[in-house]
Amino acid sequence: MTSSVGIVTTQQITFDTELQLESGRVLGPITLAYETYGSLNAARDNAILVCHAWTGDAHAAGRHHPDDRKPGWWDDMIGPGKVLDTDRYFILCSNVIGSCKGSTGPASINPRTGKPYRLSFPVLMVRDMVRAQKLLIDHLGLPSLLCALGGSMGAMQAVEWSILYPDRVRSIVPIAGTARTSPMAIALNAVARQAVFNDPLWKKGNYRAEHPPADGLALARAVGHISFLSDASMHMKFGRRFSARDGQFDFFGKFEIERYLEYNGYNFPARFDTNSFLYLAKALDLYDTAWNFDSLDEALNLMQCPSLWFAFTSDWLYPPYQTEEAVRTLEKLGKPVGYHLIDSDYGHDSFLVEPEKFTHLIADFLAQQHS
């Protein structure tokens, strides 16, 4: 019998330190928002770090208020008796730096000026996000992580943990990830960026919070949603149906897929900061496991822990061959690695839409690591 973790609270902690970034710049002090579920055992060896995707946050499970319409974004996975069993594991989810969900990002106040950073915020890499997470892990007194896992940008973070801190993470589970962002994925983000830049309300990042460049950000988010779906899932969900509210020969009439993109696009500016969206997109574009190494082999050779990788047949944002490149490299290096290609029609979003197709494999993997 599974159940929810119940009512949870997002916590914040500020580290009065300066973080050396991959760009050569420094960022500090560092505030991180995070949530925890379950309890540490006596040995403090049952901690699992859940890493969120691009526009995710620390609220991975439970509800903040009893009347919340939706629980945390991975509530199906986290809780008593679930895959990430809070009766067995201590689950931690931290909002990445660069975001706008409680951690230090471009909308935060720069202590040196007393004004929001905006575009004075430094460009980040995923590796920087992980270094900030390490501050939190140390603060919580965790000698190591049983596992770091996540999907999409969360997969990138999990891999970086195994390379940066191989003595602090005992396993990783990258889901729907890539070893390096492809030119096609960068191109999609370039179109999204241009949509924001062309909105006159963007004002080179100096927009007022109450008047964001909503049109540009909505279009940018629509581009993202297209990349998260697949041809098959669009046929299943929308087909060629015309919106019931429009006349088919109305010039401005829309198909259902257009209405979907419009609805999700215009909901987005109310909950996510535009500059944060752009900074995180840049971090995704810059992602390369081999960054500052001579090769992917040299980078992945630092990984000491077992890893379990997942890709999805219809994912065209980070297609299976990209995951398989990393898996083959690890196999060549003699590292303990597992891989599953999951048959799903839901594109990149498969890891959120059909978790039942692969979560039992994660549960078995974690049980082996904690036995």
Average pLDDT over residues 42-59: 97
pLDDT at 1 over 60: no
**Is 364 annotated among the ligand-binding residues?**
no
Say which of 315, 344, 345, 350 is annotated catalytic.
Answer: 315
* 152 given a catalytic annotation: yes
Q: Which pair of tokens denotes residue 90?
A: 């201590």
Q: How far is residue 3's CA from residue 91's CA, in Å, rounded to a whole number?
A: 15
**Beta-carbon contacts of residue 71 (< 8 Å; ≥ 6 apart):** 4, 61, 62, 63
CATH class for the domain made up of 186-280: mainly alpha
Say whether pLDDT at 211 is over 80.
Answer: yes
- Return the CATH fold of 11-181+289-370: Rossmann fold (3.40.50)
pTM, to two decimals: 0.96
Q: Which among 103, 152, 233, 344 is annotated as catalytic?
A: 152
Note the pLDDT tens digit of each residue in 242-253.
988 887 888 889
- Mean pLDDT to the nearest integer, 169-194: 98
Q: What pLDDT, on a 0 to 100 scale, did the predictor assign at position 339? A: 98
Q: Which residues pair with 34 in a beta bridge?
A: 11, 94
Which carries the bigger pLDDT value, residue 36 or residue 248?
Answer: 36
**CB-based contacts of 201, cutoff 8 Å, min separation 6:** 207, 211, 212, 213, 214, 215, 216
pLDDT at 2: 56
Q: Is 315 a catalytic residue?
A: yes
Mean pLDDT of 325-354: 97
Residue 371 reports pLDDT greater than 90: no
Set 57, 108, 348, 350: catalytic member: 348
For 214-233, what is each residue's pLDDT tens digit? 999 999 999 999 999 999 99
> Residue range 25-48: average pLDDT?
97
Kindly report, residue by residue over 69-85, the tens digit of the pLDDT.
Answer: 999 999 999 999 999 99
Domain residue ranges of the chain, discontinuous segments joined by +: 11-181+289-370, 186-280
pLDDT value of residue 370: 80
Q: Is 127 annotated as a binding residue?
A: no
**Per-residue pLDDT tens for 87-131?**
999 999 999 999 999 999 999 999 999 999 999 999 999 999 999
